[in-house]
Structure 1
Amino acid sequence: MQILITAGPSSPTRVYQFTSLSLVLSAVALIVPLMGLSVALYHAVVLKAAQEQWPIISDAVRFVERHEQAQRDHFVRENLDAMAMKVGDLQARLMRLEAVGERVAGMAGMKPEELKKVEPTPPGAAGSGRGGALPALREPTRIGSFDDMNQLMERVQNLSDRNADVFTLIESRLFEKRLEALMIPSSAPVANVPVGSGFGFRSDPFTGRPTLHTGLDFPSDTGTAILAAAGGVVASAGLHPQYGQLVELDHGNGLITRYAHTSKMLVKQGDLIRRGQKIAEVGTTGRSTGPHLHFEVLVEGVQQDPAKFLAGKGQAPQNVAQAPTPAR
């Protein structure tokens, strides 16, 4: 494109030639500053109008701000509602887990006062300086803001920590009970052998006079394996004038088992023994009329009826004292 400019009849004609690119650049160079100036003026006017509360402009600004705030509040509300539903579901699961924990604690033999020790100390109560979790949630909490959400999350976390402590305590108690069960002599010391002579008064095989038989006799062939009735530690293993070769196991809490008249002892004092471990072999050493195992259970040094331990429910086996047997 060309532009011809003539000042007069005698003046030379000036020719200006423009390309499409130069026209575009010229337009941009003119429009950009104008737009910047317009934006600056607009913001200056709008800000001034908002600050000085001009009748029309300030109303328009407040309308725009309210609209934007409403959109933000709607977005936040939708997200809070979604988060609240998830946290509420988690809360319900934790409370069901809490109920299960209390039932299992009862099955483990724990008393309610033991569980109360896991409950947090209310803020402001005596001794609250020790620390602890907030009270567990019992009812759904209304969520109205992020502060409410943070408090709910904190309480759910505290409930989770409390349940973890309860299950740790239950696990510890069950482990204790398992150890106690392992230390109670409830396994037969000789496999598949009926009891020949039970606990109580009987005629002494040597004198014929009534005497107290302080254990159970298991008649067996010489060399039959003798098994530990429970886990424990070998308290002694040696020769006794009446019991012959005698093994004593200490199971703790004042509980001792004796295995008498053995032909061979396979353990020594101080050995750690597990339930069912072979500790000796049946024999007829000491004051005995034939090969058998004389088995005793002592609590605090006093002989008890071993049949009650072997039965597991405080009842003697039906085969006790059913047949004569070699005896001490």
Structure 2
Amino acid sequence: MHLIITDARGARTRSLHLSGARLALVGCMLALGFLLVAASLYHWVFVKGAREGWPVFGALVKLVAKDEFDERDKFMRANLDAMAKRVGEMQARMVQLESLGERVMGLAGLPASEVPKADGRGGALVGARNLSLEELQATLDDLERVAGQRSDWMTVAESRLFDQHIRKKMVPTHAPVTGRTAGSAFGWRLDPFTGQSALHTGLDFQADTGTPILAAAGGVVIAQEFHPAYGNMIELDHGNQLVTRYAHASRTLVKQGDLVKRGQKIAEVGSTGRSTGPHLHFEVLVQGVFQDPQKFLNAGSGKAADTVAAISRTPLVAQQNAPPAGR
């Protein structure tokens, strides 16, 4: 394109030559300028019209804003409904945990009535109507509070159950000699040496020399010595003034102060001391008083602790210094 520009008098002239590329560039710049001017004018007119309440422009702005608010409200409502559904599911889980917590509390010997409960604002409220943001926040706060309380109670129950488990392990219900039935029982009998009536303070297990002697419960070795009547003897302290005694051993494998586990081999059967043949003489003492070991051996794992408590409340049946009856 070739352009000739002259002034009014025609005295001066200028000529411009525009190629196709230059012409396209000029056109783009002009179009961009028009767009910027139009956008600025559009913005100024609509903002001014909305602020000053022009009849047409004000209505258009309100319509556009209403559509935007509706879309935003729809989006928020969809998210709130999804969150409310999850909260309802969480509250249903909390109800299940509440039932489980009551059973666990009962097993631990704690009052189930003190298990913290939710206030019931859960699934029914979510399903009945739409929750507001404030109601949803209040429900979440309630769930957090109850979950924290139940966590504390579960910790207490765990501690109580662990204590019961340890106590059961410390009760002599494990047979000190496996595969053998008890011989001479606990109680009054004719002494094999004197032929007179005497109290047999323990339970005898006839076995071959060298047969393993096992700890009836976990405890601490408080005595490992040779006794004129008991021979090679071991005493274990199980706590709560509960002691077991293992007599007439041919060989002892633990020493005073050792910690032993339930079922651990601590000695071997023999016939030392006041004995007529190889056997284990097994005794149980509660508060220094001889008790019938068979009651402990017969007690189930779930009743062992109750058995000890019941025996400790019964009248004393013999003094610790009663003469041991050999075999």
Task: Provide the TM-score with structure 1 as the length reference.
Answer: 0.80
Partner residue in 1 for 2:190: 203
1:193 maps to what in 2? 180
Query: Is the aligned partner of 1:220 residue 2:219?
Result: no
Report what 1:327 is aligned to: 326
C-alpha contact 2:191 2:198 (8 A) present in aligned 1: yes
Q: What is the CA–CA distance in structure 2 between the aligned matches of 1:52 and 1:98, rounded to whole Å?
A: 61
Asked whether the 8 Å contact 1:185–1:229 carries over to 2, the reply is: yes
Are 1:173 and 2:152 an aligned pair?
Answer: no
One-letter identity of the residue aligned with 1:91: Q
Structure 2 distance, partners of 1:158, 1:249, is 47
Which residue in 1 is equivalent to 2:313? Answer: none
Q: Distance in 2 between matches of 1:18 and 1:256?
A: 116
- Deviation track 1:166-208 (CA, whole Å, cap 9, x = no partner) reads 4333332222122111111011111111111111111122222
User: Secondary structure at the residue paired with 1:309?
Assistant: helix
Greater alpha carbon shift after TM alignment, 219-228 vs 296-305? 219-228
Residues 238-277 of structure 1: pairs in structure 2 closer than 5 A: 238-277=225-264
- 8 Å contact from structure 2 (residues 207, 269) kept in 1: yes
Equivalent residue number for residue 319 of structure 1: none
1:69 matched residue in structure 2 = 69
Give, in angstroms, the shift of residue 248 of structure 1: 0.6
Q: SS at 2:250's partner residue?
A: strand
Kept in 2, the 8 Å contact 1:290–1:327? The answer is no
CA RMSD of aligned residues (A): 2.9
Q: Which residue of 2 aligns with 1:79?
A: 79
Partner of 1:139: 122
> Do the aligned residues in 2 keep the contact of 1:256 with 1:297 (CA within 8 Å)?
yes
Measured in 2, the distance between the counterparts of 1:75 and 1:191 equals: 73
What is the CA-CA distance between 1:274 and the residue it aligns to? 0.8
Alpha-carbon contact 2:223-2:255 (below 8 Å) kept: yes
2:91 is the counterpart of 1:91: yes
Amino acid in the other structure paired with 2:288: G
Aligned amino acid, residue 215 of structure 1: G
Q: Does the aligned pair in 2 maintain the 1:186–1:312 contact within 8 Å? A: yes
Name the amino acid aligned to 2:217. Answer: A
Decide whether the 8 Å contact of 2:87 with 2:122 is kept in 1.
no
Instruction: Tell me how far 1:12 sits from its aligned partner.
Output: 8.7
**Aligned CA distance change for structure 1 residues 159 and 217 (closer, same or farther; 3 Å):** same
Asked if 1:289 is matched to 2:272, the reply is: no
State the Cα distance separating 1:98 from its structure 2 match. 3.0
Share of identical aligned residues, percent? 48
Counterpart contact for 2:92–2:122, Cα < 8 Å: no
Aligned to 1:182: 169
State yes or no: 1:20 paired with 2:20.
yes
Q: CA deviation at 1:103?
A: 1.6
State the shift of 1:17 in Å: 2.9
5 Å-filtered alignment, 1:15-164, equals 15-112=15-112, 115-116=114-115, 119=116, 139-140=122-123, 141-142=125-126, 144-164=131-151
Aligned residue identity for 1:283: G
Q: Does 1:303 align with 2:286?
A: no
Query: Structure 2 counterpart of 1:276, which letter?
Result: G
Q: Alignment length, in residue pairs?
A: 301
Q: Which moved more, 1:247-256 or 1:219-228?
A: 219-228
> Structure 2 counterpart of 1:155, which letter?
D
C-alpha change, 1:12 and 1:241, in structure 2 (3 Å) is closer
Contact preservation (8 Å) 2:103, 2:112: no
Where structure 1 has 5 or more consecutive residues not aligned to the other structure, the ranges are: 121-134, 316-325
Residue type of the partner of 2:74? H
Q: Structure 1 residues 16 and 307, CA, compared in 2 at 3 Å: closer, same or farther?
A: same
CA distance in 1, matches of 2:62, 2:137: 31
CA distance in 2, matches of 1:74, 1:193: 79
Aligned residues of 1:186 and 1:309 also touching (Cα < 8 A): yes
For residues 286 and 247 of structure 2, the distance between their equivalents in structure 1, rounded to whole angstroms, comes to 17
Counterpart Cα distance in 2 of 1:251 and 1:138: 50
**Residues 274-293 of structure 1: CA distance to partner in whole angstroms, max 9, x if unpaired?**
11111122222222222221
Measured after TM superposition, the shift of residue 69 of structure 1 is 0.3
Q: Point out where structure 2 has 5 or more consecutive residues left out of the alignment.
A: 305-324
**1:4 to 1:265, Cα distance in 2 relative to 1, 3 A:** closer
Check conservation: 1:282, 1:291, Cα contact below 8 A.
Answer: yes
Over residues 226-276 of structure 1, what are the superposed CA-to-partner deviations in whole Å (9 max), with x where a residue is unaligned?
111111000111122322222110000111001112222221111111111
Q: Supply the distance in 2 between the matched residues of 1:138 and 1:214 (Cα, whole angstroms).
A: 64
Residue matched to 2:317: none
